[in-house]
Homo-oligomer: A and B are copies of this chain.
Amino acid sequence: MTIVATPQSMLFEQPLQLQGGGVLRQYQLTFETYGELNAQRNNAVLICHALNASHHVAGVYANQDKSEGWWDNMVGPGKPVDTNRFFVIGVNNLGSCFGSTGPMHVNPDTGRVYGADFPVVTVEDWVTSQARLLDTLGITQLAAVMGGSLGGMQALSWSLQYPDRLRHAVVIASAPNLNAENIAFNEVARRAIATDPDFHGGHFYDHGVVPKRGLRIARMLGHITYLSDDVMNSKFGRMLQSGDVFRYSTQDIEFQIESYLRYQGDKFSEYFDANTYLLITRALDYFDPARDHHGNLRNALARAQAQFLLVSFTTDWRFAPARSREMVQALIANQRKVSYAEIDAPHGHDAFLLDDPRYVSLVRAYFDRISEEVSA
Most chain B beta carbons < 10 A, residue from A21, A229, A251: A251
| B residues less than 8 Å from A197 (CB atoms) | 197
A121 to chain B, nearest CB (A): 9
Are A248 and B120 in contact, with the CB atoms below 8 A?
yes
Most chain B beta carbons < 10 A, residue from A216, A221, A262: A221
Binary flags per residue of A245-266, CB closer than 8 Å to B gives 1, else 0: 0101111001101100110010
Are A187 and B220 in contact, with the CB atoms below 8 A?
yes
- The 8 Å CB contact of A179, one of B187, B191, B232, is B232
Cβ of A20 < 8 Å from any Cβ of B? yes
Binary flags per residue of A167-200, CB closer than 8 Å to B gives 1, else 0: 0000000000111110111011011101111000
Are B177 and A238 in contact, with the CB atoms below 8 A?
yes
| B residues less than 8 Å from A223 (CB atoms) | 184
Copies in the complex: 2
A238 to chain B, nearest CB (A): 6
Are A181 and B250 in contact, with the CB atoms below 8 A?
no
Cβ of A279 < 8 Å from any Cβ of B? yes
Cβ of A205 < 8 Å from any Cβ of B? no
Cβ of A316 < 8 Å from any Cβ of B? no
Cβ of A282 < 8 Å from any Cβ of B? yes
| B residues less than 8 Å from A275 (CB atoms) | 250
Binary flags per residue of A268-279, CB closer than 8 Å to B gives 1, else 0: 000000010011
26 CB-based A-B contacts, threshold 8 Å: A19-B248, A120-B248, A177-B238, A178-B238, A179-B229, A180-B235, A180-B238, A181-B232, A183-B238, A183-B255, A183-B258, A184-B223, A187-B255, A187-B257, A187-B261, A188-B217, A188-B220, A188-B221, A191-B262, A192-B217, A194-B251, A197-B197, A202-B251, A251-B278, A254-B282, A255-B285
Chain A interface residues (CB < 8 Å from chain B):
19-22, 116, 120, 177-181, 183-185, 187-188, 190-192, 194-197, 202, 213, 216-217, 220-221, 223-224, 227, 229, 232-233, 235-238, 246, 248-251, 254-255, 257-258, 261-262, 265, 275, 278-279, 282, 285-286, 288
